[in-house]
């Protein structure tokens, strides 16, 4: 007999402080936690919350809440990891949107499935990972992504999106543009290799492995190296409110890159594989413009990571947004480079 789902209880005026890693204390007019997609479908069919927008949240690690949220905030908590298919070489593994991303990555590493190990310790949940094609240490999810299932909020049909349909780019996807506000991502599937080829060329991974005397690293070694680098470099949101990189690294044409290199000798840059465009670290511009370690009230720029804006305790979302706008204006004035915000501002 098919299981019957009923709409879960919706709460009113709920503080969102525990649900965003910036630790901003605003409230949601309505709040509901959904453990199964059909619970949400039932809720929508009942039409009681059709008069407000619905804002989906996972771990709240890529959100800046600037005001009370006049919406139904839906905490997506679909659990479950399942193998869909496998061969001698690959495994196709699917995870529910509410699975904690780092737990999922560690599950794949424990099973010796390669491809996600460089993405260890990125905060948040599986369902949000495709939103901005999360990436770190030379890897993005698009490299091993197979497909996702998402609920079309208008038709209430579940649709399948493959890599092409997701239109992944650098911290970009279809769901941040034409698909924005139109889908609830329910699960994500990855095609992972059983015969590991590790990617160790990026950042400090090589140095950490060399320091440990590991010449032929396995995927667990790479995951552990990434975890230790991230722990030493990035502020833990449990200790200080933040959303990781606040801005994207600017990508510019080769002509613009030449202008910057001539004007600012020694400026660091990254060539982009398969493109003539050049990427520059946003943190360098922010640091050179004198913002690193800046603090105004409880809103600030991290003392070691200029790309990370922080809440020392009681900052409001508007104060952090205002600071981000001051930084953008100052970088534009000094370098002629517009910075783009990575964090979703609500």
Residue nearer to ligand FAD on the CB measure, 61 or 108: 61
CA 217 to chain centre: 26
Q: Which of 69, 131, 148, 331 binds ligand FAD (CB under 6 A)?
A: 131
Q: Which residues pair with 168 in a beta bridge?
A: none
CB of 61 to ligand FAD, least distance (A): 3
Nearer to ligand FAD, 253 or 304 (CB): 304
Least distance from ligand FAD to the Cβ atom of residue 216, Å:
26
- Beta strands (DSSP E) in 259-312 are 270-271, 278-279, 295-296, 299-301, 308-311
Among 39, 149, 171, 187, the one annotated catalytic: 171
Asked if 223 is part of the footprint of ligand FAD (rule: CB under 6 A), the reply reads no
Is 342 one of the annotated active-site residues of the chain? yes
Question: Which residue pairs from 107-112 have beta carbons closer than 8 angstroms and sit at least 24 positions apart in sequence?
Answer: 107/81, 108/190, 108/192, 109/219, 109/220, 109/223, 112/194, 112/196, 112/218, 112/219
Query: Which positions from 70 through 129 interact with ligand FAD, judged by CB under 6 A?
Result: 76, 97, 122-125, 127-129
**Min separation Cβ 229 and ligand FAD, Å:** 11
171 is catalytic: yes
Minimum CB separation of residue 301 from ligand FAD in Å reads 14
158 to 197: interface string for ligand FAD, x by CB under 6 A: --------------------------xx------------
Q: Near ligand FAD by CB under 6 A, which window of 41-49, 55-63, 196-204, 218-226?
A: 55-63
91 φ, ψ (degrees, to nearest 5): -130, 140
Long-range contacts of 92-95 (CB under 8 A, 24+ apart): 92/146, 92/189, 92/190, 92/191, 92/192, 93/189, 93/190, 93/192, 94/187, 94/188, 94/189, 94/190, 95/126, 95/187, 95/188, 95/189, 95/190
For 221, half-sphere exposure in the C-beta direction (CA atoms, 13 angstrom radius) is 19
Q: Report the residue from 31, 37, 44, 59 that binds ligand FAD according to the rule CB under 6 A.
A: 59
- Please identify every residue annotated as catalytic: 171, 245, 342
Instruction: List residues near ligand FAD by CB under 6 A.
Output: 21, 55-63, 76, 97, 122-125, 127-129, 131-132, 134-136, 184-185, 234, 237, 242-244, 344
């Amino acid at each position: 007999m098919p299981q019957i789902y009923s709409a879960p209880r919706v709460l009113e005026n709920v503080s969102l402080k525990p649900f965003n890693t910036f630790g901003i204390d605003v409230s949601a007019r309505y709040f509901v936690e959904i453990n199964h997609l059909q619970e949400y479908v039932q809720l929508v069919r009942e039409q009681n919350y059709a008069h407000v927008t619905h804002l989906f949240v996972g771990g709240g690690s890529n959100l800046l809440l600037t005001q009370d949220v006049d919406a139904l905030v839906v905490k997506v908590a679909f659990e479950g990891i399942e193998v869909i298919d496998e061969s001698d070489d690959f495994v196709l593994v699917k995870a529910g949107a509410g699975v904690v991303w780092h737990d999922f990555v560690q599950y794949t590493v424990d099973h010796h499935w390669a491809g996600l190990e460089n993405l260890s310790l990125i905060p948040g949940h599986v369902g949000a990972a495709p939103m901005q094609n999360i990436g770190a240490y030379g890897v993005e999810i698009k490299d091993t992504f197979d497909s996702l299932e998402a609920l079309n909020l208008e038709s209430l049909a579940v649709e399948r999106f493959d890599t092409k349909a997701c239109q992944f780019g650098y911290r970009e996807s279809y769901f941040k543009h034409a698909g924005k506000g139109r889908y609830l991502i329910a699960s994500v599937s990855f095609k992972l290799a059983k015969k590991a080829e590790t990617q160790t060329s990026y950042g400090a991974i090589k140095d950490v492995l060399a320091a440990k005397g590991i010449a032929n690293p396995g995927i667990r070694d790479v995951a552990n190296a990434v975890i230790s680098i991230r722990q030493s470099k990035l502020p833990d949101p449990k200790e200080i409110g933040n959303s990781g990189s606040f801005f994207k690294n600017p990508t510019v044409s080769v002509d613009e890159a030449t202008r910057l290199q001539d004007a600012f000798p020694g400026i660091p840059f990254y060539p982009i594989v398969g493109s003539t465009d050049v990427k520059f670290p946003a943190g360098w511009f922010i640091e050179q413009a004198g913002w690193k370690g800046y603090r105004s009230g409880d809103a600030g720029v991290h003392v070691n990571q200029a790309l990370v804006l922080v809440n020392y305790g009681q900052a409001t979302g508007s104060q952090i947004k205002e600071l981000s706008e001051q930084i953008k204006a100052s970088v534009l004035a000094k370098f002629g480079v517009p910075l783009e915000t990575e964090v979703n501002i609500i």
